Amino acid sequence: MLQSKTRTIVCIAPHPDDETLGCGGTLLKHIENGDSVHWIVVTEMSADLGFSRESIDQRHKEIMDVADAYGFNSVHRLGFPAMRLDTVSMLDLVDSIGNVLQTTSAETIYIPFRNDAHTDHGAVFDASVACTKVFRYPSIKSVIAYETISETEFGLKPENTGFKPNLFIDINGHLDQKIEIMSLYKEEMAEFPFPRSDVTIKALAQLRGSQTGSLAAEAFMLLKEIR
CATH number at residue 51: 3.40.50.10320
Tens digit of each residue's pLDDT (9 = 90 or more) over 175-184: 999 999 999 9
* CA distance linking residue 90 with residue 45, whole number of Å: 19
Res 28 pLDDT > 50:
yes
Q: Where are the beta strands (DSSP E) in 55-210?
A: 74-81, 108-112, 142-146, 167-170
Mean pLDDT of 211-225: 97
Domain assignment present for 178:
yes
Mean pLDDT of 16-20: 98
* CA distance linking residue 188 with residue 184, whole number of Å: 9
End-to-end CA distance of the chain: 15
Domain assignment present for 209:
yes
pTM, to two decimals: 0.96
pLDDT the model gives residue 157: 83
Give the mean pLDDT of the chain: 95
pLDDT the model gives residue 3: 53
Tens digit of each residue's pLDDT (9 = 90 or more) over 116-166: 999 999 999 999 999 999 999 999 999 999 999 999 999 988 888 899 999
Domain assignment present for 111:
yes
Based on the structure, what is the number of domains in the chain? 1
pLDDT the model gives residue 1: 46
Which domain does 66 fall in, by range?
Answer: 8-225
